[in-house]
Structure 1
Amino acid sequence: MRNIRRILSAAAVAVAGAVVLGACSSGGASTSASTFVIVTAAQPASFSYETSATGYEAAEFFKNTGASLLRNKYVAGTDGQAEHEDYNAFQGILAKSYDVSSDGLTYTFHLDTDAESTAGNKLTADDVIWSMERKFAVKTSIVSFISAPFITKPDQFTKVDDSTVTMTVAKKSYGYTALSLLSNVSYNVYDYTELKKHITSSDPYAVKWSETNANFGFGAYELTTYTPGEQMIYTANPGYAEGEPKVKRIVQRVVADAGQRSNLVKSGDAQIATQLRPADQVALADEKKAQVFDVPTNAYVYMPLLTTDGPFKDVAVRRALAYAIPYDKINENVYHGRAASISTILSSADPGFDADGLKANETDVAKAKSILADAGYTSDIKFTLTVNNSVPDLNETAVQIQTGAKAAGFDVTIDAVNSSAFQAGLAAKSFDASLGRDYAVVQSPPYVLSLFYTAGSPINWPNFESDALDKAIADGNAAGEATGSKAGTYWNAAQKVLQDQQPTIYINYVQPLNAFANDVDGYVFRSDNVIDYSQLSVSSD
């Protein structure tokens, strides 16, 4: 099926759900090799990365309906950890292979021209070049913000012939981060043959059309049925570059209640549940009703604070709040052992990692009160903490913060809003403070440090600018290899700026909040924290 089908009536939704469960579950316990049911909290706000790049559901959609030139290599876990990405190794998807020039400035990608999009068109160099143009031309795209200075313009990509493209970088040291960018969904390649059918004078890159029409990527799955607010059905793409997936059909159902999502995996009526409460995960694992994996996580719970208006314009208030948060209670009461203190947002596994002087935030109510008193505050600091109501662990964390910070002189109002309102508020930078569970998709140190703090970026939630931070990152970029020890001293300096200025309070590192039926194989932890459906299978496969 090449045209997405929408089911709009409640009756049709009910019938579709009944058919799905009947096909996927035998006596509520076994998994079908042909169809998996995944229960999730919400749906992507848009099918276009250039207009709606953030949010778990969006990232998972972009990963599974799209494909990039490369991906990070998947490697076996050790010490009980799940299979996961090796951030320092790259392998081809739409590029069968790549070469690097002797000066390290030119990368040549040899395309898999047998790969087919979900619309049925073969991959060509024109798809790559046009996709790069779109990413930088669309005003609402975040690609230019997250890619500088490594990739700054589409002209860095050149067509050699129908099956070959090159990329040039300004410095040899930029190559590692550029490859990392090309390995993730922000650099998915689009089907130009399909999208050019929908180009208009007012929409020269068919962005408006692609907001509501999904099948223009080279991913493992096409979206064949979309029921807004209810369910999405994916069908395997036989022309996928890495081979047709083993699971031929994915039914992704919206189930608002996290407890119900957990119960659906427990009963066998769903194979995977996402966005669970850690308490439910622990119960499922203890009862051996589902698999819950440990991974080398890069996901953190964090609180961006608006630094240009409201109470957090004052750095003293930001520092005081950082001391007021009950980190240990959050780890214990919300995450039940599936979280750990965070002292660095960079991977300590990097060869050049420098941890000197970095430390995790700690709870010290007396210190918080002292900071506020020294700054001249004599009454409680009132602010609103906004949270996405579809993410249960963050709602529970908000309550812990509200209770714990009160003793330090903070009067916190919690505003739980739906996913769309939450994303819109982030984009508008209208929240005093918000809670998110996020990560840097690219794990190159300069990318991680710049991601949420680039001046003018739509994802600079705190609206924070710092000359000291910018200088440390620039000096690191000029110091050679991004993972080298010389650059590492500058990444350390950049993190010290963030720890001193507290534009964002990093609360903890958390394990993935999903669960898998006991007979599901193929889970791989990715830096974007989403599930690669193409790797899934049944244990007996």
Structure 2
Amino acid sequence: MRSTKRILVAATLAVVGALGLTACGSGSGSTSSDSLTIVTPAQAQSFSYETSATGYEAAEFFKNTGASLLRNKYVDGSGSEARHEDYNAFTGVLAKRYDESADGLTYTFHLDTDAKSTAGHELTADDVIWTMRRKFAVKTSIIPFISAPFITSASQFKKVDASTVTLTVAKKSYGYTALSLLANVGYNVYDAAELKQHTTSSDPWAVKWSGTHPNFGFGAYKVTTFTPGEQTIYGANTGYAEGAPAVKRIVQRVVSDAGQRANLVRSGDAQIATQLRPADQVGLQKGKQAQVYDVTSNAMVYMPLLTTSGPFKDVAVRRALAYAVPYDKINTNVYHGRATAISSILPASDPGFDGDGLKANTYDVAKAKAILKSAGYTAPVAFTLTVNNSVPDLQETATQIQTAAKAAGFDVTINAINSSAFQSGLAAKTFEASLGRDYAVVQSPPYVLSLFYTPGSVINWPDFDSPALNQDIAAGNAAGDPTSTPAGKEWNAAQKVLQDQQPTIYINNVQPLNAFAKNVQGYVFRSDNVIDYSQLSLSAK
């Protein structure tokens, strides 16, 4: 299989709905070698990527019940680094291999037609083509926004025969980003035969049906039980393209309190805990009670600011607030050494990276006050900072900001709401400011820069539209290889626009906030930050 110079992956993210399958199964911890328990603060509330694609729990659901044509190769880390993806190499999942045409414009995918969906149907080219049509036809799908200009239409995909499909891109330089998109859950292939049984005139792509029925993917697991607000139970898909997973049954229990989740791993009643407080992770690690991994993280803590209404419509207020965030205190008091400051949303390790003139945000009360005074503000600027109440580190970060920003001329009210309301509010762009922990799964510079700022996109949380930013990204795309020095100069210009306009305040990069029992093997850090259950195994204690 051909490997490209640098391969990356796309963005995933949660939703709203309800589902009833079989009766509730046991949620107790397990010590057998083929079953484990995961404790998490929330669960996927809808199973349709096209209606909403944000949130950790939904992303993990999509990864483990679905499969894409390719994925990045998993490699061992060096030193204390966890096993992770190699962004320079692909391996097949639903495609056994792929070929690239001489002109670099057409990719041919040879499908594994022995692979079976969680509904039991064998993979065909028709599944791929129908899936791509759905992704671009459904109005609420984020795929058109996150894929342009690399993939802009389902018509770029063609069926050659029952086991072969092609993708054609407009420019050779679009190739690696397009392939990388295909390697992520946004491009999971669906069981068209299953979904077509549930289409109606009002639901021609079975989007509504799939929101409450999870088993239409080709992933390593199917959902056997879903009890809203309590737990999800997964069973292994023996027809999975990469082979039946070692762990046959996974119980994902909802436990709202982060400290209790940590204690359940400590006591052995759960084998994995997600969305922990860094302080609890450090405690587990120091007590040698669990495994906590270090990675080269792409997860960012950030604060989108609504630029089209409210106090942050004024760029001066956005610039002032950037000086009112206590970055160092957040890294120390909230993340306990498991976070690092960032000056750029592009990794400095990228080939062709140009950091000229870029600098990290700093806490400076005097500068914040001076900016507000110069802009005519004499009273404290009041705003509401909304946070997901199932993410403890972000609630703690909000408190740090509330306290520090007061001294700089801001009056911050914290609004902590549940996951469903949080995701809905983000999509509706109703929050003046919010805190998120997210990532660009495709690390291709034009993808990262466009992801949260494409005009009209449902994931453009700040509702930001900058002609200068759009022009710089277009110039970078026209410069050829996205990792080249000429392209790097355009990405640098785009980042300077973001640093000047501050539609989003980037706070830090954080380590994965999970912990694993000492007998759990196989964790892989993925750029979508979720756990690939198919890689896990359990040893005897």
Q: Following the alignment from structure 2 to structure 1, what is the Cα–Cα distance between the partners of residues 251 and 432?
A: 37
Q: Following the alignment from structure 2 to structure 1, what is the Cα–Cα distance between the partners of residues 222 and 98?
A: 27
Shift of 1:540: 5.6
Structure 1 segment 67-216 matched on structure 2, within 5 A: 67-216=67-216
| Counterpart for residue 398 of structure 1 | 398
Give the TM-score normalised by the residue count of structure 1: 0.95
Contact 1:41/1:258 (<8 A) preserved: yes
Are 1:228 and 2:238 an aligned pair?
A: no
| Counterpart for residue 417 of structure 2 | 417
Q: Following the alignment from structure 2 to structure 1, what is the Cα–Cα distance between the partners of residues 225 and 423?
A: 24
Q: Deviations over 1:431-487 (max 9, x none)?
A: 000000000111111000000000000000000011110011001101111112221
SS at match of 2:114: coil
Q: Following the alignment from structure 1 to structure 2, what is the Cα–Cα distance between the partners of residues 539 and 79?
A: 22
Q: Following the alignment from structure 1 to structure 2, what is the Cα–Cα distance between the partners of residues 476 and 75?
A: 30
| Counterpart for residue 308 of structure 1 | 308
Contact 2:303/2:506 (<8 A) preserved: yes
- Equivalent residue letter for 1:183: A
Q: Following the alignment from structure 1 to structure 2, what is the Cα–Cα distance between the partners of residues 93 and 482?
A: 26
| Counterpart for residue 363 of structure 2 | 363
Shift of 1:5: 6.0
Are 1:6 and 2:21 an aligned pair?
A: yes
Give the TM-score normalised by the residue count of structure 2: 0.95
Shift of 1:79: 3.0
Shift of 1:347: 2.1
- Equivalent residue letter for 2:507: I
Q: Deviations over 1:250-295 (max 9, x none)?
A: 1000000000000000001101000000000000000000000000
| Counterpart for residue 529 of structure 2 | 529
Q: Following the alignment from structure 1 to structure 2, what is the Cα–Cα distance between the partners of residues 5 and 416?
A: 28
SS at match of 1:6: coil
Structure 1 segment 501-512 matched on structure 2, within 5 A: 501-512=501-512
| Counterpart for residue 11 of structure 2 | none
SS at match of 2:404: helix
Q: Following the alignment from structure 1 to structure 2, what is the Cα–Cα distance between the partners of residues 247 and 5?
A: 24
Work out the percentage of aligned pairs sharing the same amino acid: 77
Are 1:322 and 2:337 an aligned pair?
A: no
SS at match of 1:506: strand
Contact 2:45/2:228 (<8 A) preserved: no
Q: Deviations over 1:148-202 (max 9, x none)?
A: 0000000000000000000000000000100010000000000001111001111
Q: Following the alignment from structure 2 to structure 1, what is the Cα–Cα distance between the partners of residues 347 and 376?
A: 38
SS at match of 1:293: coil
SS at match of 1:178: helix
C-alpha RMSD of the superposition: 1.1
| Counterpart for residue 290 of structure 1 | 290
Contact 1:344/1:359 (<8 A) preserved: yes
| Counterpart for residue 6 of structure 2 | none
| Counterpart for residue 219 of structure 2 | 219
Q: Following the alignment from structure 2 to structure 1, what is the Cα–Cα distance between the partners of residues 356 and 220?
A: 43
Q: Following the alignment from structure 2 to structure 1, what is the Cα–Cα distance between the partners of residues 359 and 509?
A: 14
Shift of 1:348: 2.2
**Alignment gaps of 5+ in structure 1:** 25-30
Are 1:52 and 2:52 an aligned pair?
A: yes
Q: Following the alignment from structure 1 to structure 2, what is the Cα–Cα distance between the partners of residues 183 and 349?
A: 22
Q: Following the alignment from structure 1 to structure 2, what is the Cα–Cα distance between the partners of residues 170 and 6?
A: 44
- Equivalent residue letter for 2:21: R
**Alignment gaps of 5+ in structure 2:** 1-18
Q: Deviations over 1:119-141 (max 9, x none)?
A: 00000000000000000000100
SS at match of 1:16: coil
Contact 2:34/2:538 (<8 A) preserved: no
SS at match of 2:233: strand
| Counterpart for residue 26 of structure 2 | 16
Contact 2:33/2:539 (<8 A) preserved: no
